[in-house]
């Protein structure tokens, strides 16, 4: 822990619940909140690296979009308030590298009613130490990917541009991946095209070109960042449908996520990708991403002196 006079109760993280910042282990959601009972919620996950938020403003824009698409009330999430809470959460635990999640839940209707229009939507948030889909050591060898025949919840049913918690398909797919000796999973759409995985988007070099799915997935912030990076590096990216069969022929594959950046993949369904190590394009994009981030690219420094009036003192 950095020496910032941090209350030890916040060593594992902080949470913002009902207008108060509390140690993360003490944070609770009400049983009757439809965020819990119905997965009726949206969220945004933002990274803090070396003391700076990454693309904070873009994340707030996407959060706002999710809230509007779920037809929730934007009043509990005034931009200035969400910004303040984000800074205060990180300041409360003093982390230099952190994982901040801001969440809007439907709330609950009055007892006896099932009318979601009567719910008061609730804003909550938490901060934990930075989390990796694959840590830097694992990134050197690459992840083993399992492509499941399980279908990602279709866009016709649940809008993939809302960053939501409909993850039972991913979770059952993950169990399938583990049973097959893989580290993680990617799901397809109803037409057999690759979509995304639990917390990440997918890129692949196929027939010499870098490609990424064009529909059925979240427009991840890291995906967007990679597109911008590729444009700077003069690497063309094709957004298109990628069938399971074509994906298996990729010479390079990487995953993109706030929780780890650019994650190389070394095998798919037990077959080695390319020559098995980290591919040339992947290495270049990975290097460029972290190099730029360490130079403050899209960074907004955390105000560590931002001591929340709302922090609850531990006893
Ligand atoms: C379903 C899904 N797809 C993609 C991503 C990657 O998005 P980002 O790069 O914004 O982290 C996430 C992130 O959690 C996700 O949940």
Instruction: Tell me the residue length of the chain.
Output: 315
Structural Rg of the chain based on CA atoms: 20
How many Å lie between the centroid of ligand 1 and the Cα of residue 48?
16
In this prediction, residue 312 carries a pLDDT of 58
The per-residue pLDDT for 311 is 63
Angle CA 72–158–217, to nearest 5: 110
Q: What is the CATH number of domain 8-131?
A: 3.30.470.10
What's the CATH superfamily of 136-294?
A: D-amino Acid Aminotransferase, subunit A, domain 2 (3.20.10.10)
Distance 185 CA to ligand 1 centre (A): 14
62 phi and psi angles, rounded to 5 deg: -70, -35
Per-residue pLDDT tens digits for 248-258 = 999 999 999 99
**Residue showing tokens 């009613």:** 113
- pTM as predicted: 0.94
**281 in Cβ contact with 226 (< 8 Å):** no
CA distance 213 to 196: 8
- Which of ligand 1's atoms lies nearest the C-alpha of 170? 1
Long-range contacts of 230-235 (CB under 8 A, 24+ apart): 230/285, 232/288, 233/284, 233/285, 233/288, 235/210, 235/281, 235/284, 235/285
The answer to whether the CB of 66 is under 6 A from ligand 1 is no
Residues 6+ apart with CB under 8 A from 3: none
Q: Where are the domains of the chain?
A: 8-131, 136-294
pLDDT of residue 314: 44
DSSP 11-64: TT-EEEETTEEEEGGG----TT-HHHHS--EEEEEEEEETTEEESHHHHHHHHH
For residue 313, what pLDDT is reported?
47
The Å distance, Cα 169 to ligand 1 centre, comes to 15
Cβ neighbours for 190, distance < 8 A, ≥ 6 positions apart: 151, 154
260 secondary structure, DSSP code: T
Residue 286 Cβ < 6 Å to ligand 1: no
CA of 313 to the centre of ligand 1 (A): 34
What confidence score (pLDDT) does residue 315 get?
A: 38
List, in sequence order, every beta strand (DSSP E) within 258-306: 261-268, 271-272, 299-301
d(CA 10, CA 89): 10
User: How does strand 143-151 pair with strand 184-188?
Assistant: parallel
* Parts of the chain with a pLDDT under 70: 1-4, 306-315
Q: Output the pLDDT for position 301.
A: 97
């Amino acid at each position: 822990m950095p020496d910032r006079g941090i209350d030890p109760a916040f060593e594992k993280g902080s949470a913002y619940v009902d207008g108060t910042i509390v140690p993360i282990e003490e944070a609770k959601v009400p049983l009757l909140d439809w965020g819990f009972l119905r997965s009726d919620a949206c969220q945004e996950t933002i990274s803090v690296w070396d003391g700076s938020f990454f693309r904070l403003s873009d994340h707030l824009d996407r959060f706002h979009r999710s809230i509007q698409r779920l037809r929730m009330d934007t009043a509990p999430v005034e931009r200035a308030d969400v910004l303040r809470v984000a800074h205060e959460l990180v300041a409360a635990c003093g982390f230099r590298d952190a994982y901040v999640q801001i969440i809007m839940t439907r709330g609950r209707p009055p007892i006896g009613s099932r009318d979601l229009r009567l719910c008061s939507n609730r804003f909550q948030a938490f901060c934990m130490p930075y989390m990796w889909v694959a840590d830097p050591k694992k990134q050197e060898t690459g992840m083993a990917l399992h492509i499941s025949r399980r279908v990602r919840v279709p866009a016709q049913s649940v809008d993939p541009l809302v960053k939501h918690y409909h993850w039972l398909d991913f979770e059952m797919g993950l169990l399938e991946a583990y049973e097959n000796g893989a580290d993680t999973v990617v799901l397809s759409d109803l037409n057999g095209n690759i979509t995304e995985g639990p917390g990440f988007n997918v890129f692949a070099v196929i027939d010499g070109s870098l490609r990424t799915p064009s529909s059925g997935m979240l427009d991840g912030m890291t995906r967007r960042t990679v597109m911008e990076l590729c444009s700077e590096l003069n690497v063309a990216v094709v957004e298109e449908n990628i069938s399971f069969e074509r994906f298996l022929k990729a010479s390079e594959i990487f995953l993109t996520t706030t929780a780890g950046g650019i994650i190389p993949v070394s095998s798919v369904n037990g077959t080695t990708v390319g020559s098995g190590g980290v591919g040339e394009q992947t290495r270049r994009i990975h290097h460029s991403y972290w190099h730029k981030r360490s130079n403050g690219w899209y960074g907004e420094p955390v105000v560590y002196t931002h001591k929340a009036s709302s922090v609850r003192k531990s006893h």
